[in-house]
């Protein structure tokens, strides 16, 4: 299941950016080539490309024009697939992996109880089926029989129990706590440092193939959010309560029931895998997988020289063009499950007024920014929901660029233009100190546009760049800011409580903007307790409309994710909710 | 023949009554390469001061309908990612980069050579003390400190335009210890030479010995160090901006403008974005180097042309 | 006179011992200063952990586990306690012992830096000397311009150009990495594979250091050649080669030795930009990662090693001065 990776888009961006300064390319030779995908006709005799077979409505394919152009480097490794990855950190454990890169490793090596389909619905995996009790609090999973760890032992309910109990361990210091903390008996087990409470009450092994989890309260997002983590073998990983160090000692020797067996990790270079011939879904067709470390500066060159077969690239026309020119690379791109925004501190008087917030939204040429920066591979965002979410709705105010309307709203709000061209209210000049992060082309493009657009409204914008950790400390830990910008990479479930609940409006919480809207709070709570997806959808769409009107954020942008995939790789399925690891066991390597 | 020897005699005569600085200046003026360096530098300064004033565009004026366009008549160096005129920004950037580079180098050269000279000449406890300070400076990781300084400046709401001065001083302070060690190392050797024994015998004051007799013999290294520092200061300014310390966009600097060549597409397809600032940095570094070499020759009493 | 030599040796030994002893308080001082400055930088490892499923209380609990909720001096005390037992703590980010993390990456950096260091010495010193002896010749002009270009070009830019020319167009060298992925060579084959991958980053590093070293050698040589004793040596009828390489070069080496001393920590510190561009698994990007994540134990570990190397490098340079120029007395 697509994990809730706490590495968020911005972080990912800055991590790469700070390492290599500015990674994602800004440029484009001529801007008369937006949306050039699909213009390229498929080459004659190139055979069916399986990437397209699984194409969902949102995934777009640009087919390779000349698959035969495959470089010798790639031809020379008929049994080995090389996938580029950015920064694995060596925490190869399903309950410790805290970046997408480490998660790819655990997804190859481990299987979770459930998976998800491309719409984001939970689907069976190790658990063949599941029941939910009348009160909606108890989940009972029926495991498939005969699944074996690569050690030869069978995966049973006690392994599931072990995995989830490990997360509740008093000394657990990984990022998955939230998936067990709502279980009955969590606090008793977690807070007991002396080993007096041997078991977590909420987890019950019924027989070898049946296990149940009992929550303290209904949690509508539980299935999709909490039951996807890889199951660890109790025999292999077992440790005494409190001695979780054992798991860390085994970071570099992960062992699970997954499609691939972990062979070797060369820190900062590569991770090697070998097919698990006894994989319960069928032996993988590709014998070896290597995850090779690449970076955004040179990923295009790695792909075009055949150094890697599959890698994620920044979805920009320049990159796509360079990949197309190579001839043998299929390109897919789709809207990512994320959005970019600017957060304003609503504790400040100037941002308390909804009219001011709306004026700033109308008064910013967001389409112009997106056209300049993404050149066709991004869209304007108007609400705190991603384009691919099942809760998404288009029926909201689009806030088109309209300086006149913005001026009018500002006038109404009492900010009047002075003789110097700036707006004043009660003698206070309208100045916005905008804190943002360094080393990002996104920000470098945004700054002049914001300064110019809002300057024309009579607002002085003072941008201030800082290193990302400093920025997030000021925004979240200290709440000491006027305006900032970041992006959220979202989990599958649309529940926004982690970001917008009033309980998150504390120092260190994520409601950094201080949005305290009772209506919103009510809807969020309803959404979390409603298990019928259709009804939930209605609740969330109502909430989206509310957020779109009340504007806790200035919503900015949706961007695309793009993958370059060598034409020697067939049958690889990647969608916004499904990583390349999900169906890798079905993919194969051919000589085009 | 006759005339020339008279000329020579006259020159000798005037040299005798000229002050050493005047003499150096006269020698310098004869050195074509040094003057070329000086002219290049003067032109760079002139362009960055006057350029923005005569340009039809302003530094921030953007045009989203005309982004990343190649050089044309309207934009002799093309436009950037939001359609701003690259040439105008290049001139503005010169103000920042030249002043950051030159001031940082002056700071580093003054501190480095004075402390290095004192340490090398006196030796013993003073040398130990200064060199241990150098050790601490050199082994101290400045990355976290710079982040802290950046955060403090933002807490105090230091206006972005003033942060440039902090950057100059910081770069200067960061780069003096290397020079101090180089100067001191040379002076350790120089002070044992015969001419210093002569100076000793003549009873010349310490200050005079250090600044008149010892330091001039290290000018060569100081000039090389200044040339290297100038190049790196201009580039370091842009790295500091990654820590939130540099000049804040949209104000440009050459270092930041060169950074757009971070991806191969720009590198290959949009050379107008990075070649001009690159050439400006190169010319500045070269000008300082040529001028510095000439200055050294001019100040060297052994070289009489 | 054997007597003076022994006396000199004795003085030298005393000097070295004293300097080594002085290092201890300096290192302790640096560790204290460093620890507190690290704490001053805003945020900690959890500041960038932007996981909406991680509530403020959960973060507090994790902070407590790492003693991050304690004042800095208490945290320092915990750290020192570990160090005295030889335990530098676990990296916050990697959740592995600091020594293991450093050991994994630092030798890769050392390998790359050492090779490029040797190359740049081999290249730059002869060129510097020839440039000086033939001042204002075409040779001199050519390398002056080359050096100045080297100074003004950022290394990322040069690295990308090399990748474009040698990897993409000519397909001579791999784009990045340190070994061919998925293949486990051993012995000579492994060495050859690493050299093959090292070529491009090595050129970048070498060229950036050649420029400076060449200029220092040249200028210092020029200075020496003008000295009276060189004129005397020439006047005595010594061969030019002997004059230059035996008498002049030796004396011209003092600034160059200083630079060498300063390179010792550089051999281990890794080159952040070059290593990132070529995905060389060195310590440079790891330190940056540690800074960005406020990984105090890892930063303390890396920086104390580098501080120690800096002190040693400067000491070695000071000793070498005395060896090169016997008139220098170490006190």
* Alpha-carbon gap, residue C295 to C287, rounded angstroms: 9
- Please tell me the predicted confidence (pLDDT) of residue A215: 94
Q: Which of B172, B175, B174, B180 is nearest to B117 (CA)?
A: B180
> Where do we find the tokens 């103000």?
B95
Are A347 and A427 spatial neighbours (Cβ–Cβ below 8 Å)?
Answer: no
pTM: 0.86
Contact call for A248 and C96, based on CB within 8 A: yes
Q: Rounded to 5 degrees, what are φ and ψ at A509?
A: -85, 175
| B181 secondary structure, DSSP code | H
Dihedral angle at the C-alpha atoms of B271, B276, B277, B279, nearest 10 degrees?
110
- With beta carbons under 8 A apart, name residues in chain A contacting B151: 466, 470, 474
Contact call for A171 and C94, based on CB within 8 A: no
* Alpha-carbon distance B241 to nearest alpha carbon in chain A (angstroms): 7
The DSSP line for A439-502 is S-HHHHHHHHHHHHHHHHTT-EEEEEEE-HHHHHIIIIIS---SEEEEEEE--SS---HHHH-G
Least CB–CB distance from B259: residue in A22, A368, A373: A22
Q: Which of B70, B94, B74 is nearest to B281 (CA)?
A: B94
Are A261 and A150 spatial neighbours (Cβ–Cβ below 8 Å)?
Answer: yes
User: A45 falls in which pLDDT band (50, 70, 90)?
Assistant: very low
- Please tell me the predicted confidence (pLDDT) of residue A14: 34
Structure tokens at A157: 């309910």
Chains that touch C (3 or more CB pairs under 8 A): A, B
User: B16 falls in which pLDDT band (50, 70, 90)?
Assistant: low
Chains that touch B (3 or more CB pairs under 8 A): A, C
pLDDT digits (tens, 9 = 90+) for C94-112: 999 999 999 999 999 999 9
Contact B217/C at CB under 8 A: yes
Decide the pairing of beta strands A288-293 and A260-266. Answer: unpaired
Are B61 and B250 spatial neighbours (Cβ–Cβ below 8 Å)?
Answer: no
pLDDT digits (tens, 9 = 90+) for B237-292: 877 777 777 777 788 889 888 887 777 788 888 888 888 998 898 899 888 888 88
pLDDT digits (tens, 9 = 90+) for A546-565: 999 999 999 999 999 999 99
Instruction: Quickly count: other Cβ atoms within 10 Å of residue C321's Cβ.
Output: 22
* Alpha-carbon gap, residue A10 to A1, rounded angstroms: 22
Chains that touch A (3 or more CB pairs under 8 A): B, C
Contacts with A, B 105-144, CB within 8 Å? none
pLDDT digits (tens, 9 = 90+) for A148-176: 999 999 999 999 999 999 999 999 988 88
Structure tokens at A511: 């409601």
Contact call for A82 and C181, based on CB within 8 A: yes
Q: Which of C44, C52, C95 is nearest to C291 (CA)?
A: C44
- With beta carbons under 8 A apart, name residues in chain C contacting B301: none
Contact B245/C at CB under 8 A: no
Contact call for B143 and C222, based on CB within 8 A: no
Least CB–CB distance from B263: residue in A25, A438, A449: A25
Structure tokens at A208: 């070898």
Contact call for B148 and C41, based on CB within 8 A: yes
CA–CA–CA angle C218, C224, C229 (5° rounding): 155
Average pLDDT over chain C reads 87
Contact call for C182 and A477, based on CB within 8 A: no
Contact B162/A at CB under 8 A: no
* Alpha-carbon gap, residue C204 to C278, rounded angstroms: 10
Contact call for B138 and C314, based on CB within 8 A: yes
- Please tell me the predicted confidence (pLDDT) of residue A583: 93
Q: Is the dihedral of CA A572, A575, A580, A584 positive or negative?
A: negative
* Alpha-carbon gap, residue B274 to B260, rounded angstroms: 7
- With beta carbons under 8 A apart, name residues in chain A contacting C49: 6, 98, 175
- Please tell me the predicted confidence (pLDDT) of residue A244: 92
Average pLDDT over chain A reads 87
Low-confidence winner among A495-499, B27-31, B181-185, C301-305 (lowest mean pLDDT) = B27-31
Nearest-CA residue of chain A relative to C274? A20
Least CB–CB distance from B68: residue in A27, A319, A441: A27
* Alpha-carbon gap, residue B232 to B255, rounded angstroms: 10
- Three-state DSSP class for residue A289: strand
The residue length of chain A stands at: 592
* Alpha-carbon gap, residue B129 to B17, rounded angstroms: 42
Best mutation target among C154, C295, C310 (most B Cβ atoms within 10 Å) is: C154
Contact call for A22 and B270, based on CB within 8 A: no
B285 or A540, greater pLDDT: A540
- Bridge partners, A305 (sequence order): none
- Please tell me the predicted confidence (pLDDT) of residue C204: 92
- Three-state DSSP class for residue A270: strand
Most confident of A35-39, A92-96, C53-57: A92-96
**Complete domains list, chain B, with CATH:** 28-51+84-299 (1.10.3720.10)
- With beta carbons under 8 A apart, name residues in chain A contacting B241: 438, 465
Average pLDDT over chain B reads 82
Q: Report chain C's C-alpha Rg in angstroms.
A: 25
Q: Which of A271, A254, A252, A269 is nearest to A81 (CA)?
A: A271
């Amino acid at each position: 299941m697509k994990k809730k990776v706490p590495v968020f888009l911005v972080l990912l961006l800055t991590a790469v950016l700070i390492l290599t300064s500015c990674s994602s390319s800004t440029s484009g030779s001529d801007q008369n080539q937006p949306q050039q995908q699909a213009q390229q006709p498929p080459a004659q005799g190139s055979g069916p490309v399986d990437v397209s077979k699984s194409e969902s409505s949102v995934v777009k394919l640009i087919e390779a024009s000349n698959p035969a152009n495959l470089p010798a480097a790639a031809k020379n490794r008929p049994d080995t697939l090389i996938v580029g990855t950015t920064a694995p950190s060596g925490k190869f454990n399903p309950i410790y992996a805290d970046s997408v890169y480490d998660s790819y490793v655990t997804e190859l090596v481990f299987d979770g109880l459930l998976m998800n389909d491309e719409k984001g619905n939970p689907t069976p995996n190790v658990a063949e089926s599941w029941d939910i009790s009348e009160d909606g609090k108890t989940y009972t999973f029926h495991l498939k029989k005969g699944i074996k760890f690569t050690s030869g032992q069978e995966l049973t309910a006690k392994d599931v129990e072990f995995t989830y109990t490990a997360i509740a361990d008093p000394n657990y210091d990984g990022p998955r706590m939230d998936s067990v903390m709502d279980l009955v008996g969590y606090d008793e087990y977690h807070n007991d440092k002396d080993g007096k409470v041997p078991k977590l009450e909420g987890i019950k092994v019924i027989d070898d193939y049946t296990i149940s989890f009992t929550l303290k309260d209904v949690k509508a997002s539980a299935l999709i959010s909490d039951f996807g983590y890889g199951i660890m073998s109790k025999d292999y990983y077992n440790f005494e309560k409190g001695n979780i160090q054992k798991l860390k000692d085994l970071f570099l020797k992960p062992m699970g029931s997954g499609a691939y067996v972990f062979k070797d990790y060369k820190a900062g270079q590569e991770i090697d895998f070998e097919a698990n011939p006894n994989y319960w879904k069928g032996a993988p067709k590709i014998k070896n997988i290597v995850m090779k470390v690449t970076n955004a500066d040179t990923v295009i060159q790695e792909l075009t020289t055949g150094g890697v077969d599959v890698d994620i690239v920044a979805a920009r026309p320049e990159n796509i063009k360079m990949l197309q020119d190579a001839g043998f690379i299929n390109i897919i791109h789709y809207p990512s499950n994320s959005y970019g925004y600017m957060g304003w501190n609503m504790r400040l008087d100037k941002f308390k007024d909804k009219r001011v917030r709306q004026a700033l939204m109308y008064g910013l040429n967001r389409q112009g920014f997106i056209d300049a920066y993404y050149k066709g591979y991004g869209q304007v965002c108007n609400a705190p929901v991603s384009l691919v979410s099942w809760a998404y709705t288009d029926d909201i105010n689009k806030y088109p660029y309209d300086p006149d309307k913005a001026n009018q709203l500002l006038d109404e709000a009492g900010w009047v233009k002075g003789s110097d061209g700036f707006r004043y209210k009660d003698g206070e000049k309208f100045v916005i100190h905008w804190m943002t992060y360094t080393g990002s082309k996104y920000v470098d493009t945004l700054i002049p546009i914001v300064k110019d657009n809002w300057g024309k409204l009579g607002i002085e914008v003072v941008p201030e760049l800082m290193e990302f950790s400093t920025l997030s400390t000021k925004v979240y830990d200290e709440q000491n800011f006027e305006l900032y910008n970041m992006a959220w990479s979202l989990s599958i479930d649309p529940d926004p409580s982690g970001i917008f609940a009033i309980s998150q409006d504390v120092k260190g919480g994520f409601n950094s903007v201080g949005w305290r809207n009772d209506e919103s709070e009510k809807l969020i709570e309803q959404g979390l307790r409603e298990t019928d997806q259709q009804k939930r959808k209605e609740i969330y769409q109502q909430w989206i409309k509310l957020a779109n009107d009340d504007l806790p954020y200035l919503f900015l942008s949706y961007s695309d994710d793009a993958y370059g995939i060598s034409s020697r790789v067939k049958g690889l399925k990647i969608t916004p909710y499904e990583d390349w690891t999900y169906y890798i066991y079905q993919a194969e390597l051919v000589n085009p | 023949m006759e005339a020339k020897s008279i000329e020579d005699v006259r020159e000798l005569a005037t040299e005798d009554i000229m002050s050493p600085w005047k003499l150096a200046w006269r020698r310098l003026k004869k050195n074509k390469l040094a003057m070329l360096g000086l002219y290049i530098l003067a032109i760079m300064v002139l362009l960055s001061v006057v350029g923005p004033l005569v340009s039809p565009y302003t530094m921030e004026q953007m045009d989203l309908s005309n982004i990343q366009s190649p050089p044309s008549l309207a934009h002799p160096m093309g436009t950037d990612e939001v359609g701003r005129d690259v040439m105008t920004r290049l001139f503005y950037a010169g103000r920042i980069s030249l002043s950051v580079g030159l001031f940082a180098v002056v700071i580093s050269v003054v501190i480095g050579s004075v402390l290095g000279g004192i340490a090398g000449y006196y030796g013993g406890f003073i040398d130990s003390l200064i060199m241990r300070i150098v050790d601490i400076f050199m082994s101290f990781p400045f990355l976290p400190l710079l982040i802290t300084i950046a955060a403090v400046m933002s807490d105090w709401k230091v206006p972005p335009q003033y942060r440039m001065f902090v950057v100059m001083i910081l770069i200067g302070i960061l780069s003096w210890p290397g020079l101090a060690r180089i100067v001191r190392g040379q002076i350790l050797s120089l002070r044992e030479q015969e001419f210093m024994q002569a100076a000793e015998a003549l009873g010349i004051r310490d200050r005079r010995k250090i600044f008149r007799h010892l330091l001039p013999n290290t000018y060569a290294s100081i000039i090389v160090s200044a040339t290297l520092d100038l190049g790196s200061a201009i580039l370091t300014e842009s790295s500091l901006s990654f820590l939130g310390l540099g000049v804040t966009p949209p104000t440009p600097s050459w270092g930041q403008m060169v950074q757009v060549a971070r991806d191969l597409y720009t590198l290959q397809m949009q050379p107008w974005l990075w070649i001009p600032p690159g050439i400006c940095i190169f010319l500045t570094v070269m000008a300082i180097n040529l001028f510095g070499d000439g200055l050294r020759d001019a100040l060297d009493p052994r070289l009489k042309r | 006179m054997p007597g003076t030599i022994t006396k000199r040796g004795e003085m030298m030994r005393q000097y070295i011992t004293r300097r080594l002893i002085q290092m201890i308080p300096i290192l302790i001082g640096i560790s204290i200063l460093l620890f507190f400055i690290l704490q001053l930088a805003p945020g900690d490892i959890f500041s960038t952990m932007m996981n909406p499923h991680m509530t403020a209380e959960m973060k507090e609990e994790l902070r407590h586990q790492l003693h991050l909720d304690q004042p800095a001096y208490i945290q320092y005390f915990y750290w020192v306690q570990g160090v005295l037992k030889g335990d530098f703590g676990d990296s916050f980010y990697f959740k592995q012992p600091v020594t293991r993390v450093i050991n994994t990456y630092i030798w890769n950096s050392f390998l790359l830096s050492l090779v490029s260091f040797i190359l740049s010495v081999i290249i730059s010193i002869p060129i510097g000397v020839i440039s000086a002896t033939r001042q204002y010749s075409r040779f001199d002009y050519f390398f002056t311009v080359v050096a100045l270009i080297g100074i003004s070009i950022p290394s990322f830019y040069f690295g990308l150009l090399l990748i474009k020319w040698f990897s993409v167009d000519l397909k001579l060298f791999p784009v990045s990495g340190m070994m061919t992925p998925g293949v486990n060579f051993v012995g000579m084959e492994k060495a050859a594979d690493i050299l093959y991958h090292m070529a491009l980053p090595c050129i970048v590093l070498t060229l950036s250091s050649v420029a400076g070293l060449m200029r220092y050698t040249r200028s210092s040589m020029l200075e020496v050649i003008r000295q009276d004793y060189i004129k005397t040596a020439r006047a005595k009828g010594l061969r030019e080669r002997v004059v230059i390489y035996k008498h002049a070069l030796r004396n011209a080496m003092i600034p160059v030795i200083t630079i060498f001393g300063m390179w010792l920590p550089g051999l281990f510190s890794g080159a952040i930009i070059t290593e990132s561009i070529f995905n060389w698994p060195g310590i440079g990007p790891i330190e940056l990662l540690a800074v960005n994540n406020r990984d105090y134990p890892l930063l303390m570990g890396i920086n104390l090693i580098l501080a120690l190397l800096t002190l040693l490098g400067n000491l070695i340079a000071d000793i070498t001065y005395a060896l090169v120029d016997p008139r220098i007395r170490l006190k």
